[in-house]
Amino acid sequence: MKQNRVNAVLRHLEQLGLSQMLITDPISIFYLTGRMIHPLERFYGLYLSRRGDHRIFINQLESVPEDLGVEKVRFSDTDPYLDLVAETVDHREPLGVDKNMAARFLLPLMERSAASGFVLSSLAVDRARAVKDEDEQALMRRASQLNDAALEQLRPWIQEGVSEVDLAERLKGIYRELGADGLSFPPLVAFGRNAADGHHWPNDTRLKPGDCVLIDAGCTYQGYCSDMTRTYFYRSVTPQQRQVYELVRLANERAEQAVRPGIPLRELDKIARDTIASAGFGPCFTHRLGHFIGVEDHEFGDVSAAAEDLAEPGNIFSIEPGIYLEGCLGVRIEDLVLVTEDGCEILNRLPKELEIIA
């Protein structure tokens, strides 16, 4: 068990007025134990209690280390595993449950009166995960280093006639060659007018001179995600393309320069949005400025006009303004930033100056 992370969850649980919680999200359990299990349809849960009698419920099919640091309750497919859970829960107190708990597990526990009530308590885990400890920060740095290296190695493959799909597949291969564990998400590659679709999936469109080349991609390293977007131009750039690119870069850099502990996250969004709106492209910036990231590419917390939280040391989130001109082009520039005690550390080092690939 990662005791510092468990303690953080328990502190947030106390703030919610709860003494116990059942976590069934495998990714959150990985965050707390360091062990990733994919249970498929089977029950898998971590019970946390402020009394300290934590237990993890694992099917006998799964292999786990002896020194997991928490009492293990093993069961087979035919055992009454929910009875075992109900016997563990303090029925005199309400039970916190996470947002991933399936109804096929929750409803039987409610029927058994396993607790005095059932409360959605995902915030206890989400808020703990939003503040990365030193080990997590190091892994996120390494994941971003691999991402930088991968996009740099991809550049020679950006040639006339290559398809979006081919470029995306080549990038996957580069990640493997660099030693990444896997993908944060399937690479998004868009040429020309396709880039005006913020989440365009690669297709057979082939690169031609004058196209913009938008690449949004990320890999994982020891379970932690990277995410970065760069936009290039192939062979030439028009005055309009240059104007849009430089405006997006300015919005990205202004927002990053403002990141510091205590700043409202919505203020970062406003800085970038106002920069783009001042040049008349406000309606073309169609998404939030950023999202939190860690063991998942999109975690709880966002950088948007609706965000209510303040930045705090240990937060890692994206800064990714964009301008999308339908039928013409799209430009997005994205970095990950780590909030430090006095500002921020930009995890991506790949240059952002406008680049024309010849």
Those residues of the chain that have pLDDT short of 70 are none
Closest to 340 measured CA to CA, from 263, 260, 281: 260
Joined tokens for residue 48: 């946390």
Q: Please state the pTM of the whole predicted model.
A: 0.96
Give residue 221's pLDDT: 98
Give residue 199's pLDDT: 85
Joined tokens for residue 94: 């309400």
Q: Is the dihedral of CA 85, 90, 95, 98 positive or negative?
A: negative
How far apart, in whole angstroms, are the C-alpha atoms of residue 227 and residue 198?
15
Give residue 35's pLDDT: 92
Give residue 204's pLDDT: 98
Question: Are 105 and 193 in contact, with CB atoms under 8 Å apart?
Answer: no
Give residue 65's pLDDT: 80
How far apart, in whole angstroms, are the C-alpha atoms of residue 309 and residue 262?
9
How far apart, in whole angstroms, are the C-alpha atoms of residue 184 and residue 154?
17
Task: Estimate the crossing angle of helix 122-129 against helix 26-33, to 10 degrees.
Answer: 50
Per-residue pLDDT tens over the stretch 98-117 = 999 999 999 999 999 999 99
Per-residue pLDDT tens over the stretch 303-356 = 999 999 999 999 999 999 999 999 999 999 999 999 999 999 999 999 999 999
Question: Are 33 and 62 in contact, with CB atoms under 8 Å apart?
Answer: no
Give residue 68's pLDDT: 87
Q: Residue 51 half-sphere exposure, CB side, CA atoms within 13 Å?
A: 11
Per-residue pLDDT tens over the stretch 280-298 = 999 999 999 999 999 999 9
